[in-house]
Structure 1
Amino acid sequence: MTVPSQGPLRRILIVGGGTAGWMAACALNQAVRAGGTRVELVESDAIGTVGVGEATVPPIRQFNQDIGLDEATFIKATQGTFKLGIEFQDWRATGTRFFHGFGDYIVNAGPFSTLNHWLVARDLVGEAAGDFDAYHMAAVMARAGRFAAPDNDPRSPYYYFNYAFHFDAGLYARLLRTKAEAEGVTRHEGRIVATDLHPETGHIRSVRLDDGRDLSADLFIDCSGFIALLADKALGERFIDYGHWLPVDRAWAVPCASVGPPSPYTRATALEAGWQWRIPLQHRTGNGYVFSTAHVTEDAARARLLANLDGQALDEPRLLRFRTGRRERFWARNCVAIGLSSGFVEPLESTSISLIQGGITRLISLLPDLSFNPGLAAEYNRVQALEFDRIRDFIILHYALTQRDDTAFWRERRGMALPDTLAYRIETFRETGHVVLLNEETFVAPSWQALFIGLGLIPKRRDPLMAAQRREEIIETLRLRRTSLASAAQRLPTHAAFLARLGMTESP
C-alpha cells in the first residue's frame, strides 16, 4: 500500500495512559477531531503509573480551562486543594524558612519596587524591615492558612497572587480518561511487545500488543513514563543527564492521615541527603523523601521519611528510581515524547505536569501533516530543550546558594560548578539586584527574587534612583504595605472554609 505524503494526519496513537497520556488525549482530540483525525490511546492495567505528582504550578489552570474542565468539578473529583506556593524549610541553613509564592509583589518595577524598598529599609533598620515574604500576598495568605480566588481589580491586594492545586494524580488521570472517551478517544487495553519501523524512513509504522493486535498510526506520542518505550527502546534517542548538578536519584513516597485542616501550600524540607515533600489533599497528606543514593541508603531514607510523618502512614512506602535529565530530541521522526519519557527534573518546584502541558501545547501549535516537515520537529526540540534547561537552572539554584555544611551532600552542592546560564544569573543578581530572564522561562522575576533572597543572596548594589527618596518615607511605605497585606489576608476565609463553600469538605 502506498503511504500518502501529504494531507492531515489520519490517526494519532498515544502510548501510555496516566496523567501525561490522558492530558495529551484530551487536548489533542479537541484540537484535531473537527478535521477528522482520530486520537487513540493504548495502555495496560497491569502496568502501574508513577502517580505521585500531586502538586502543580499555575499554568494547570489554563490547561483545565482550555479542555473545558470546570474547576469545582476538578477539585471534587481529584480530592484537590489549593496551592499558593511552596514553603522551604532548612534550605539556606538548618532552622531557616522562606516562601516561594505564586504571583507578584504589589510593586515590582522601577525604583519603587518592593525589592528596592526592602533592601534600603534593611540597610537602615535591619530585621525590623521584616522578611521579604511579608510583602507577597500569596505568602502572607499561605502562612495565615487563608484562601480565596484572586480579584480582577489591580487596585486590590488580591489582584497580585496566583494559585495552583494539590490533587491525586491517579484520580486526575481517571477524570481525564472519562472526559476523553466521552469525546471520542478510543482506548486500547494491552501491553506493547514490539515496535515496527519503516525500513527506509525509520518512522514507526505500528506497535504490536501482547494479544497479537497491531496498532498503526501516522503520529505516535510516547507517554510510557520512565521506560520510554518508543523514544528510548525503539528509537534510541539520546538522554542528556543533569545528574552532576542534581544527584538525587530515588524517592520514597507514602501517604499519611491528615492531622488538621489542609494548608494551602506545599512544604519542602531539606534533609541530610535530599529533601522531603509534604502535600495536603482533602482526604490525606502526600509525603516523599527525594534523596541521593550516593549519600544515604534506601533503607535509611525510608526510615527517615516514616519518622517525619505528621500522621499515621496509610500504605507501605513506594520506591521510585529515576534519572534527572532530558532527551536531546523530544520529537524524532514521527514520534513525540511527552511526560517522563521526555525527561525528568526532580519535583522540587512541581514542574512535571507543567512540562507535560508545555509539550502538548507546543505540539498542537506545530502539528505536522503527513509530510512531517522537519522544520516543525526542529523548532519543537529547540524550544522544549530551552524550557527543560531553564527549569533545570531554577532547581539547581535551590542547592547552589545553600550555606549548609552539615553533611557531605550539602557540602558538595555548595562547591559544584554551575551551568553558565545559572552562574551568570547569580552573579548579576549578586552585583546589581537585577533578575536575568532568558527565553522560555517557566519561572519569572518574582520567583527568582523569592529564591535569591530566601537563600540569603543580598545584592550589593542599590538602585541609584532610590537616593531621591526620603528614608523615612521608604520605611513607612514598607510598613504600611506589610500591615495592609496581613490585614487583607485575615479578611479572607480559611482554606478549609473555602473548600467547604465549594461543597468539598465540612466547614471547620
Structure 2
Amino acid sequence: MTVGPQRIVIVGGGTAGWMSAAALARLLPSRVSLQLIESEQIGTVGVGEATIPHIRYFNALLGIDEREFIHATQATYKLAIEFVGWGRETSRYLHPFSAFGGDIDGIDFHHYWLRTRDEWPELNLDAFSLAAQAARLGRFAPPPEHSEFGYGYAFHLDASRYAGYLRAYAEQRGVTRTEGRIQSVIPRESDGGVAALTLESGERIEGDLFIDCSGFRSLLLGQTLGVPFNSWKHWLPCDRAVAIASGALSEPPSFTRSTATTTGWQWRIPLQERTGNGQVYDSRSISDDEACAQLIGSLNGAPQSDPNLIRFEAGARARSWDKNVIAIGLSSGFLEPLESTSIYLIQMAVFKLVEFFHNSKSGAVGREAFNRWMSLEYERVRDFIILHYHLNQREDSEFWQDCAHMSVPEGLQRKIALFKESATIEFYDQGLFAPPSWLAVYLGQGLNPEAIDPRVAQQPVASLKGPLEQLANHLNRTAQALPLHREVLARGGVAPSAAAPMSLYGGRYG
C-alpha cells in the first residue's frame, strides 16, 4: 500500500456506512474518492441507540458541535447503565462512566470499601461515584476540567437521525451517494478480491478498496469472499430482539436501563421525543409473540410503533479485512447491546483503518495488524458481556441457571477467579473496559472476594469509616448541586467544559 487506494466504495448506509463515510471524508487525503451505495428499499436495524463516551471523541474529531448534534438526533445525556435483576431478581446496580473513589496510598479504593462493608452495609459502592450519584438523582452537567472525581458521559440518540446527520456531513465533504441495489459482485483477477459491483440499474462501480457495511448479510466479506463466521452462541444464547417505541418520559433518566427477564433482558433508552424499548431473548425459551407481549406489558405508556423483530447470532467474522474488503459494523460481527458497544466498535474500525491507511507500506502487514486489533476488541467486549450472564444468581428459570453453570473463555475465568480470591482486577493492555467497569459488575452481581489487600485488612473499620463517609457526603452534595437532566435538555443541552477524551471514564485509565 505504497500510495494507498484512490477509490473507496462503501456498501450500505445506516450508522456504520455513514459513520465510515463521514470520518474518511474528514480524515483521509482529498485525492481519495469516496462513494457510498445504499438502497432505500433495504431497511437498517437502526433503533433508539445508547452510546458510550467515545462517541464524543468521534464527533469532536469531525468538528461536530455537541449542542447541534443533540438537537439533530433528539439525544439525551447518559452517565451510566442501570442493571435490574441481573444478580438476584431483586438486585439493582449502576455501571457508571467513572471510577469509584480514588486510590489511597497506592491501594485501589474498593479494598477500603470492602473492609467497611459488613459493618456499614447501608453505604453502597455507587455512593463513591459522582456519575452514579448524579444519575440516581436525575441530574447532569459536563464534568469540570481537571476534576479529582471526573467522569465520562455519552448519549441516547435516534440512530436513524444520526445516520442522516452524518450523511449530510459526508455529502458536503465530497462523498458521492448512489441509490441502488447490488446485483452482482465482480471478482478481481489478481487475488480474488472485489474489482467492481454491478447495480440492478446496470451501472458498474469500480473501486480499489471496498468497505462492507451491508449489515448482517455481510454481502462482500461473508457472502462473496467466504470469510467464516465464528459463532459465540454457546456463551451468548440470546438470538432475537424485538423493539418498540413508546412516549417520552417526563423525567428522562441520565442512564440506560437493562432489566433481566426469565429468558433474557429488556432495554429502555430515553430520547427527547420518545422512549426506545426492546427485549433480547433466547428463542428456544420463549416465542416471538410471547416476547412481544411481555415487552408491551412492561412499557411506560402505549406503544407508538409496530414491533420490529430482529434475528441475530452473537459472533464475529474470522477476519474483518480480507483482500481489498473491510467489514465494519454488523457485517463484521454482532454483540448484543447490553453495554452499548455497537457504535464504539464501528468507530474503532474506522480509526484503525485511517491509521493503517496512513502508516502501512505493506497491504498484508496492515491487514494482519487490523485483524488482530479488531478481533481483540470484539473478544474483550464479548467477555465482558458474558460476565453479566455468568455471574447471575437467579433461580427462576433454566435459562439463567444454564448461564451460571456454563464454561466461559479461559481468560474470563482467570479474571473472575483472581477477583474472587483477592479482590484483584486484572488489567488488560487493550480493550474497552478497565477495572472500574469490572468492579461494578463483580460487586453489583454478588461476586464477593474471599480476601482483600492485607494492608487494608489489618486497619480498624472505625478508622476508615469517617474518611469514607466524608467522601460520600461530598460527592452527594456535589451531585445535588447539578442541574436536573430535563432542565439541561430543555435549554438545548450544554456546551462541554473540556475536550472529549478517548476514555470511558472521563480521561482516567486512557
- C-alpha distance in structure 2 between counterparts of 1:153 and 1:95, whole Å: 37
Match of 1:92 among 72, 87, 95: 87
Task: Kindly state the Cα deviation for residue 486 of structure 1 after the two structures are TM-superposed.
Answer: 1.2
Aligned letter for 1:127?
Answer: P
CA deviation after TM superposition for structure 1 residue 104, in Å: 1.4
Q: Which residue of the other structure, out of 479, 482, 489, is the alignment partner of 2:469? A: 479
Higher mean Cα deviation, 70-79 or 365-374? Answer: 365-374
Once the 2 structures are TM-superposed, how far is the Cα of residue 7 of structure 1 from its aligned partner?
2.5
* Alignment CA distance shift 1:109-1:292 (3 Å): farther
Unaligned runs of 5+ in 1: none
Match of 1:10 in 2: 6
| 1:496, distance to aligned residue in structure 2 (A) | 0.6
Find 1:220's aligned residue among 210, 219, 226: 210
Q: Partner residue of 1:116?
A: 111
Q: 2:45 aligns with which of 42, 46, 50?
A: 50
Q: Partner amino acid for 1:7? A: V
Shift of residue 373, structure 1, vs aligned partner: 2.0
Tell me: CA distance 1:67–1:109, structure 2 relative to 1, closer, same or farther (3 Å): farther
Match of 1:73 among 55, 62, 68: 68
Residue correspondence of structure 1 range 243-322 to structure 2 within 5 A: 243-322=233-312
Deviation, 1:110, is 5.0
* Partner of residue 435, structure 1: 425
After the TM superposition, which residues 190-209 of structure 1 pair with which residues of structure 2 at under 5 Å, given as runs? 190-209=180-199
Q: 2:80, 2:256 within 8 Å by CA — same for their partners in 1?
A: yes
Identity of aligned residues (%): 44
What SS does the corresponding residue of 2:260 show, helix, strand or coil?
A: strand
Q: Deviations over 1:413-459 (max 9, x none)?
A: 01100100100000001011111122321111101100000011121
Q: Map of 1:45-444 to 2, 5 A cutoff?
A: 45-52=40-47, 54-108=49-103, 113-123=108-118, 125-128=119-122, 130-155=123-148, 157=149, 160-367=150-357, 373-444=363-434
The aligned counterpart of 1:23 is: 19
Deviates more, 1:259-268 or 1:468-477: 468-477
Structure 1 letter corresponding to 2:261: L
Return the alpha-carbon distance in structure 2 between the equivalents of residues 243 and 110 of structure 1: 43
In the aligned structure 2, how far is the partner of 1:316 from the partner of 1:501?
Answer: 31
Q: Which runs of 5+ in 2 are unaligned?
A: 495-510
Distance change >3 Å, CA 110–CA 352, structure 1 → 2: farther
Structure 1 residues 178 and 400: alpha-carbon distance in aligned structure 2, compared to 1, 3 A threshold: same
Separation in structure 2 between the aligned mates of residue 444 and residue 109 of structure 1, nearest angstrom? 18
CA distance, structure 2, for counterparts of residue 147 and residue 340 of structure 1 = 32
CA contact (8 A) 2:100 2:126 kept: no
2:499 paired residue number: none
**Contact in 2 for aligned 1:56/1:350 (Cα 8 Å):** yes
Structure 1 position 32 matched with structure 2 position 25: no
Shift of 1:232: 1.0
Offset of residue 469 of structure 1:
4.1
Paired letter, 2:144: D
2:504 aligned partner: none
Three-state SS of the structure 2 residue aligned to 1:12 is: strand
Whole-angstrom distance in 1 between the partners of 2:104 and 2:390: 27
- Residue 185 of structure 2 aligns to which amino acid in structure 1? T
Hey, which bits of structure 1, 4+ residues long, moved more than 3 A?
108-113, 368-372, 467-470
Paired amino acid for 1:360: V
Select the structure with the greater relative contact order (CA < 8 A; seq sep ≥ 6). 2
Query: What is the SS of the residue equivalent to 1:263?
Result: coil
Q: Aligned letter for 1:57?
A: I
Shift of 1:369: 9.4
State the distance in 1 between where 2:242 and 2:266 align: 9
Q: Deviations over 1:92-111 (max 9, x none)?
A: 01111000000212304655
What is the one-letter code of the residue matched to 2:57? Q
Moved more, 436-445 or 74-83: 436-445
Distance 1:169 1:395 in 2: 22
State the secondary structure of the residue aligned to 2:385: helix
The worse-fitting range, judged by mean Cα deviation, of 105-114 and 486-495 is 105-114
Contact 1:258/1:311 (8 A) holds in 2 = no
AA paired with 1:234?
A: T
Q: Provide Cα deviations, 1:360-392, integer angstroms capped at 9, x if missing partner.
A: 001110117998620110010011001100000
CA contact (8 A) 1:84 1:101 kept: yes
State the distance in 1 between where 2:311 and 2:69 align.
29
TM norm structure 2 = 0.94
Counterpart CA distance in 1 for 2:447 and 2:94 is 15
1:464 to 408, 429, 454: 454
Aligned length: 494
Question: What is the CA distance between 1:252 and its match in structure 2?
Answer: 0.3
SS of 1:33's partner is coil
Q: Does the aligned pair in 2 maintain the 1:53–1:352 contact within 8 Å?
A: no
Alpha-carbon deviations, 1:50-103, whole Å to 9, x = none?
A: 002510111111000011111101000000000001000011011110000002
Q: Specify the code of the residue in structure 2 equivalent to 1:401.
A: L
With over 3 angstroms needed to count, the CA separation of the structure-2 counterparts of 1:109 and 1:181, relative to structure 1, is farther
Describe the shift of the 1:349–1:372 C-alpha distance in structure 2 as closer, same or farther (beyond 3 A): same
More off after superposition, 15-24 vs 44-53 = 44-53
